[in-house]
Structure 1
Amino acid sequence: MGNDLPWRIMEFLKNFSNTNSFGIPVGGPASRILSELVLNQIDRLLRGEGIQFCRFADDYHLFSSNRDEAYSHLLFLSEKLLQNQGLQLQKAKTRFMSKAEFSATSPLHLQDEAVPDEEVKPDLPARARGLLRFSLRFDPYSPTAHEDYELLRREIERFDILDLLKSELSKTRIHISLARKIINALKFIEAGKRDAAIVALVQNPDLLYPVFSSVMLVAKSTFEDLSDVTQVQILESLIELIKNNSHVLRVELNLLYAIRLLGSRQITGSEDLLSGLYKATTSPLIRRDIILVMARWGVWYWLSDLRNQFRTFSPQERRAFIVASYRLADEGSHWRQYIQQEFTPLEKLTMSWAAQKVQSHGWTIPI
C-alpha cells in the first residue's frame, strides 16, 4: 500500500460516515487512541501556556488558582480546540468546581458529615419541569397576535417565573436549559416585575456565564419597556464589566451583545469606554459594532477622525463606516464622493441602502 495507507483508511471510513464529521468517537480502545492523536497538539499548547491539566480521552480537567484564571484557561482551551481541530466544548458538561467540591467528587473521598437537605419548595421541581415542556413561541404577525400574547402571558404566570429565577440564582451551578427558558419567559411578565429580574440577571454574570448571551438578548429586546432607573442601572453594570475586563466578556459573542445593549442608550462614560475599546481590540466584528453605535449616538468628532483610517479597515468596518458617514452631513457627503470609486460592489450597495434609509423619518442606525 505504501504512502497511500492513510488515504485508503479515510476512504473506507467515508462509507460509514457519508463524509460527515462526528467529532471524536465515544467508547472502545480505538476512540481513546484517536483522542490521543487528535488532542496531542492541544496538550502541548496547554503545557506551553503553563496550564496545569489532566485528560482522559476527550475529558479535560484544568487546574487554576482562582476563578478569573480558570475562565482564562477555559477560553484558551476552547479557542485552540476550535481553531486547530474544529471541536467545541459541551456547555452542559463544562463546570467550575472549588477544591473542596472536586475533592468531594473523588471516589477516594469518604463522606464523614451529613449533608443537609436543600431548602426548596415541594412544588418547585414540578413547576420547573412544566416550564421546560411549555412552548414560548409567539407570532407577532398573527391576526390574533394580541389575544395570543395575553393568553401566553396568563399561562406563564402559573409557573411563578420570578420564584424559579430566584431559585436558580441561589445555586452554585445553574440548570442551563431551565435558566435559558426562565430568561426568555421574562419577556412575557409584568413590566414592574421584569425590571428587577433583568437587573438581577445582568448583575450575576459569573453564575449565568453559560447563558449570558441570552441575558443580553432579552435585556435588549425589553429595554424600551424598562424604567429609566433600570435602564441606567443595567448599562452601568455593563460598563463596569467591560472596564474590569470580565472573563464573561472575553467571549467575543458576549461582548458583541453587550455593546449592542450599550448602544440602546448613551449614558455618562459609555462614549469614552467604547472609544477605548475600539483602540484595544483587533476584532473586526467588535470594531464594526462600535462604529455603528457611535454613529447612532451622533459622535461626529470621533467618526470624522476615524475616516482617515478607512483604507486600513476590515470589510466589516468599511461597510459600517459607509453607513456611519451619513451622520457627518456635508463632510460625509464630500467624503463619499471622493472615495466611492474605491468601493466594492457590496459597499456600493451598502451606500445605496443607507442613502435610501436616511430619507425615512425617524430612522435610526440598526445595531
Structure 2
Amino acid sequence: MPTVPDSPDTAAAVPWSLAWRRAASSFYAGADGRAPQQPASHFRTSAHVGPALGAALARLLLAVDAGLGRPDPLDLVDVGTGRGELLVSVLAALPPSVGSRLRITAVDVRRRPVGLDPRIRWIEGWAPDSVPRGLRGLLVAHELLDDVPCDIVSVDSSGVPRLVLVDASGAESLGPALTDDDAWAAHGLDAARARTWLSAWWPLASPGDRAEIGLPRDDLWQEVVSCLDAGIALAVDYGHTRETRPSDGSLTGYRSGDVVAPVPDGTCNLTAHVAVDALAHRAGASVVRQREALLSLGVDASLPDHALSVSDPPAYLDALAASSETAELIDPNGLGAFWWIRTDV
C-alpha cells in the first residue's frame, strides 16, 4: 500500500472514488480506447470453477419458482456477468420444463460476447441504472460489489481522520479532515454521511488506520434489490465484518492473475473487500458463508467410490475432477469463505 504522508502536495490528487471510477471505466468498458478487459483474464472466481455453483443456483431458482407459484416469466438475472459464464452454468442445470417461462438477463458494461446462448438477453450498461425493474425470480451479483468504487479515510499522525487522495501514479496524500463538511463537498462528497457510516461500521482508532467507506456499495445494492418485485436478491462476494476489519484496509490491484499495487491508471482491476454486515443491514439481508450456503443447497464434494476406477476408469476420473472442483468451492480457507448476502423479497 502506498505511503500516506501527513503534509502532501495534493495538486494532482483526487478522492479514491473518482480515480477508481475513471480507472474502472477504462479497464472494464474501454473508455479511453483500450480493449475492455474480462475478469477471467485477471482472477479466478467461483463462476469459473466447474458446474457445481451453477447447479446449486439452479436448485435455488427452482425453489424460488415454486415459492412464487411458478410465475410467467420467471426471471434469472446476473448483474456484472462478465462473459455470462454463471448464467450458462445455471441454464445447463435447469430442467427443460422451466425453459418456456424463463427470462434470462445479463447486465454488464461490456458488449455481448460472441457465441453466447441466444436465450440470454444482454443489457450493456452500469448497475444499478441498467438493471430492469419489475423482476420476479432470482437476481445474482457475483463479485460485483467489491469492484464498486469507494472512498478511503486514514488517521493522520495527530489522530485526525482525513480523506485519502490519490493521483494517477497511485501516490496517495491526505486531504480534508472528516469533520470538514465544506471541503468534502468541494469533492462532491458528503462528510456527514461518511461520519455516520464509519461510526456504525468501521470506527477508526489509531494513527495510520485506514477505512474504506462502504456507502456506495450499500446504495447501489439497495437500488438493485428494489428492482425485484418478488424473489431473492443474492450478492456473493468476499468481505469482512466489524469484528474483522483490516486496520490498513483491503484495497488491492489484480493484473493477469497477480496481485499488484492498486494504481488507478486503468491497467489493473481495483477491488476492496465488502463490509458485508453494513450491506446486509441496509438491504434487510441474511448473511452466510459460501460453504454453508452451498452445502445447504445439496453441493457434495465426496470422493467417488474407488470401485468405479476399475469398472469405468474414465467415469471415475470425471467424478474425481468434479469432486476436486466442488471441494474448491466449499474450502473454508478459500472460496468457501465468500459471503452470500441474501434478501428475500
When normalised by structure 2's length, the TM-score is 0.22
Question: Whose strand fraction is larger, Structure 1's or Structure 2's?
Answer: 2
- Structure with the bigger RCO (C-alpha within 8 Å, sep 6+) is 2
When normalised by structure 1's length, the TM-score is 0.21
